[in-house]
Amino acid sequence: MGNSSSGDDAPFAEEQPTSNVITEQHTTSEKNLIEQLEQEADNAHAACIHWTQTHRRLHIPYPEEDFLKMKGKVVKAEDKLAHARFANIVNEEWERIEAVVDEELERIEGLGRQTKGFEVCAVCNKDLSNKLALVKKYGAGKVKYQIAPCCGKIICYQCRPPFSRDFTTVLKQMTEKAEKGGGPSVLDVQLPGPAMCPNCNYVAKGNLTERQKFKWNEKFAAEGIPWGMFEVSVMLKAGKGCQKNLKKAKKWMEKAAETNYDKAMHALAIEYSLEGTPQSLLKAKDLLLGAADQGHDFSYHFLSVLYLGRGEGKNFPEKNLEKAKRFASLAAYYQNEALMGNDCEQMMLCHSKRDGSDDSCVPPRDALPDSPEARQFQLMTYWTGKGAHLNDSLRVQFSNMLALFTSEKFIHKYSGGCCFPGYTTLPLAKKMLRKGEETSILISVMSEKCIHCKKKNVDGSMKQCSGCKVFHFCGQECQLKHWNAGHKRECKGEHWIKEFMGLRT
C-alpha cells in the first residue's frame, strides 16, 4: 500500500505497506469522502465560471491575481479529489489481491502437498511448507529460514542462530549490555549462547571455504536432503568449491525437483524456458505450478510472464491475461525486493492490456477521472512507482507517467493540462531522472514559452528555474509571480503522490 501525507491537501492517514487488509468500513468512508470532494470540486468550478461570466457580461475588468485565486480554488479542490480517488483505487487493488491470496491459500491447503525435510522448523515446529501462508500470517519480509550448516535442519526466521558471528564477540556484547542494565547477565544465559545451533548445539567457529561448503552440501545431498541436492547442483554448475560439471549439476537438480523442492523446480523450469520451444515452455509451466503449490514467489512471477507471453514466454502456447494477472498479484503480495521491481512491472503490464490485446492502456485525452481508462492508468502509475527505486527502466517510465499525471483531464477534470503552480507533477517527474536520462516530451515543451505569461521563447533566451529545471520565464517579474502563486511548493518535487508512495528523489 502507499503512504499519504497529512494536512489539508492529504485526506488520508499514513498506511503501512505490509498491512494489506482494508475493512469494509474504511472503504465506505473513502467512497463517502470522494463523493463529498466531487461536490466541492463541482461547486468550486461552478463558482469560478459564474464569477468570470458575471464580470464579462457586465464588462467589468478583473485583476489577474483575482482570477488566479478563483482558479486556484478549483485546482485545490480537484487535487484533493485526485488524491482521494487515487488512494481508493490503490485500496481496492489491494482488496482484490487479498481475495486472490485467500483463494490461493484455500487451494494449496486442499492439496496437502509438502516437501521432504521442509515440513517444520526443527526448533519450534512451525509449518514451513506453505510460504504464502507465512507471508499472510507474519507479513512481507518476515518469511525467512536458515539451513543449519551443522545438522542440515531448517530453522525459521524467529529461531535462526547468527552462525556467521564469532562466539566470543557475542559473549562480549552480552556482557556489555548486562553491565549497562540492558539485558541478562552472562551467568543467566545457558551457555554457549546465541552462536550455538538451537537444534544440535554446534558452536559456529567461523566461515567455511567454498570447498568445505561443497563437502557439507554433498554430505546432505547423499542423504536425500532436498536443499543439499539443490546446493550441490548450483555449485557444480558454477564450479564453486569443485570442478564444473553441467551434466552432474542437472542430474542433482532433477533429483531435488522430484522431492517437490520449490527452488529446484523453479531453477529447472528456467532452464527449460531458455530453450524457447512451446514444448519446453509447457514443461516449465508444469514445474512452476508445482513450486507455486508451495507458495514460491519467483514461480508465481515467472508463471505470470509465461501467461502474458513476455520474454522467454513469447512462444508459450497457452497465453491468458486473466491467469497472468492472478499470478502477478500473488508475486506482488510478497513485496520481495529480490525480484528487483520485476513483480511491479508485471503488474503494470497486466493493467496495461485491453481485453488481452497488445495495446497499451494510455487514456485518451478526453477520458474523465472516473473512466475505466483513467483508473487503469493510475494503477499502472502506482505499480511502476512501487518498483521504480529497484529498476532503472521502471524509474524512467515512471517519470514519463508522472509528467502525464496532472497534464491531462483524466486526473483533473476541470483544470487538467493547465500546469497550475503548486499542483503539477512535472518537477517531481524531472527529479526522478538521473543525469543524462531522456526527459518526457511534456517537460521538454516547457522551454517553448514563459510558464506564467505564456510569451513564446522565440530566441531561446528565457531562463530556466534553477530549482526544478522544468519551467522557463521571460523575466524576474514572471518568475516571482509564479513562485508566489504556488511554485515554491512544487519546485523541489513535492507532491502528495511522492509522500503517498514513499518515493526517493
Mean pLDDT, contiguous 10-residue spans, the chain (505 residues) = 36 34 56 90 92 89 84 92 93 95 90 62 78 81 68 74 48 55 42 55 64 87 89 94 94 93 93 92 95 91 94 90 95 89 92 60 74 90 92 90 85 83 92 87 91 90 92 93 90 92 82
**Omega before residue 372 within 30° of 0, cis:** no
pLDDT score recorded for residue 355: 47
- For 317-320, the CB contacts below 8 A with 24+ separation are 317/278, 317/281, 317/282, 318/282, 318/285, 319/356
> 10 Å Cβ neighbour count for 170?
19
Rounded Cα–Cα distance for residues 152 and 199 (Å): 10
pLDDT score recorded for residue 193: 39
Kindly report the pTM of this predicted structure.
Answer: 0.81
> 10 Å Cβ neighbour count for 502?
13
Rounded Cα–Cα distance for residues 505 and 338 (Å): 21
* Lookup: cell for 244: 564444473
- Closest-CA residue to 68 (of 60, 78, 76, 58): 76
Question: Which letter does DSSP use for residue 483 in this model?
Answer: I
